[in-house]
Amino acid sequence: MSKAKNEEKGPQAKSDPREKIIDALMGLAAERGWDEISLADVADRAGITLAQFRDFFPSKGAVLGGFSRRIDKIVLEGGEKLAGESPQDLSPKDRLFDVLMRRFDAMAPYKAALKNINDWAMHDPLALPALNQLALNSLRFMLEAAGLNSEGPLGTLKLQGLALSWTHVFHVWLADDSEDGAKTMAALDKELARGEELVERVEGARRRLAPFAAPLIGLAERIFVNR
């Protein structure tokens, strides 16, 4: 049985038509370019009609979003199962490293498909914003799974920085053919160290500026609110 067929019939295959459609698309993406896959091809591989396909997803991009949510769920549920066994003294960087490596592990059965999808995206500028938004949606949950707040201005900075780091490491992972993923782990460790340093600098600046914030807010209220 081919690798693509194994992906299609793997442990994620379910009776749910949505899951069948996701499996079908990722199986086809492992075999051919993204632009060569039609909606009819996906429906045929999934064993459903186009009308049924339309009930669940409006486009291939939406199916890809469903795949991303599948990976999120695997990572998040895996973290819940391991929570009682994980050391409580891990640094935030180490916790995030663990979460993101589990994400790469969950994506591994679909690596061939993701390579082809990435090749298409790199030559289609219109695809990049949509894929970036998919990454942001997922990484927000990855931050929270690592115990890192993704809310507020600092959370936004963490999320945007992590998205850039993830994109770089993702490309390393696609080219990493080692059995232990050493290149991927090294790249991820380096990127997270950079991000941690940046966040520490921003937090330091925020603490230094905090004493000036209250007087400025009070002045603004007197000028604009109580006039």
Query: Which pair of structure tokens corresponds to residue 192?
Result: 């997270």
- Domain range enclosing 101: 88-224
Contact 131, 121 (CB under 8 A): yes
Helix intervals (H) in 9-91:
17-29, 39-46, 50-56, 60-82
Report DSSP state, residue 38: -
Res 204: pLDDT:
55
Residue 139 lies in a domain: yes
pLDDT at 125: 86
Q: How many domains does the chain have?
A: 1
| Inside any domain, residue 123 | yes
pLDDT tens for the chain, 227 residues long, are: 334 444 444 444 558 999 999 999 999 999 999 999 999 999 999 999 999 999 999 999 999 999 999 999 999 998 765 555 555 568 889 999 999 999 999 999 999 999 999 999 999 988 889 999 999 999 999 999 999 988 888 788 889 899 999 999 999 999 999 989 999 999 999 999 998 786 655 555 555 555 654 554 454 445 554 54
Whether 111 contacts 174, CB under 8 Å = yes
What is the pLDDT, as a whole number, of residue 10?
Answer: 46
Does some domain include residue 67?
A: no
Residue 2: the pLDDT is 39
CB atoms within 10 A of CB 220: 10
Q: Is residue 137 part of a domain?
A: yes
Q: Provide the sign of the torsion angle of the four alpha carbons 113, 105, 92, 183, taken in this order.
A: negative
144 assigned to some structural domain? yes
Q: Is residue 12 part of a domain?
A: no
Alpha-carbon gap, residue 43 to 54, rounded angstroms: 10
Q: What integer pLDDT is reported at residue 190 of this predicted model?
A: 95
Residue 98 lies in a domain: yes
Tell me, yes or no, whether 33 lies in a domain. no
